[in-house]
Amino acid sequence: MNTVLNISTYKFVPLPDAPALRELLLGRAQALQLKGTILLAEEGINMFLAGPADDVRSFVAQLQQDARFADINPKESWSDSQPFKKMLVKVKGEIIRMNHPTIKPADGRAPSVAPATVKRWLDQGHDDAGRPVVTLDTRNDFEVDEGTFDGAIDWRITKFTEFPDALRSHLDDLKDKTVVSFCTGGIRCEKAAILMREEGLEHVYQLEGGILKYFEETDGSHYQGGCFVFDERRALSADLQATGLQHSTEA
C-alpha cells in the first residue's frame, strides 16, 4: 500500500538569506521526521521530500507562510516505502547548475505551455499557428535513456553545464520551429528556455511542471518509458508509480 507521499517543487526567487533559511528548514524537516533534499541558493529553492502525507503537507504549509513561497505548488506521487535515506538541506551557488550567470529566472520566466496543450500539439503535429513542434530534452543522457517523448531532440549531454554549448551548435536546426523544452519537474527546462530566447529563438516554451506534471495531467501519450527520478524509486511510469529501486542520488 502506498502510504509515503513524495513531493518535488522549485521556485526561482531571490533568497539572500539562504544560509539562515537552511537552518530553519532543516530543523522543521527533522522535527517532522521527513527525508529528502532541499537545495537553496540566492536564485531560489529546489526541494524533494518524502514522508507521511500529513507531515509533508504540514511542512509545505509552514513554508507557504513565507510570502516568497506562498504560491509553491508541489507535484505529488506515492510510494510504499521511504525513497530517501536522510534529510539534507544544502546551500549552493545555483539550485540547478548551468554556469551561465546572466540567466536569472526570478527576473522573468520564459513562456510556459500547459501539459494538455503540449499533448494536443503533439496529437495534431503542429502548434496552433501551424508551426512544426519539436520537444527538446534538457536532461542528462542517462536520464533520457530511462524514457523520453517520441522523437525528442537529445544532445546527449552528461551535465547541464554542457547545454549552452550544445544549444549554440544546433541553433539553425531549431529556427522556424516551436520548441518545447522539458525536464523532470521544470527547473532545467525553465533555464534552458530563457537561454534559447536570449540566443534568438522566437517560438520557445517550457513544459509547465515538466514530465511529472505531464504524467499527472494527461494520459502520458507521446512519451515512451519512465521518468528518471533522483531517489530509490529509480523512475516513475506515466501513472506515477515506481518502476524500480536504486541508491539515492543528489538531484
Q: Using alpha carbons, select from 49, 40, 98 the residue that is nearest to residue 69.
A: 40
Q: 199 near 167, Cβ under 8 Å? A: yes
Length of the chain: 251
**Which DSSP string do the residues of 86-129 spell out, in sequence order?**
SEEEEE-S-SS--S-TT--GGG-PPPEE-HHHHHHHHHHTS-TT
Active-site residue 189, yes or no?
A: no
67 DSSP assignment? G
Q: Take residue 236 and report the three cell numbers written for it.
A: 516513475
Dihedral angle sign, alpha carbons of residues 143, 164, 151, 193: positive
d(CA 159, CA 145): 14
For residue 111, the tally of other CB atoms under 10 A from its CB is: 12
Instruction: Select which of 103, 118, 144, 183 is catalytic.
Output: 183
Residues tagged active-site: 183
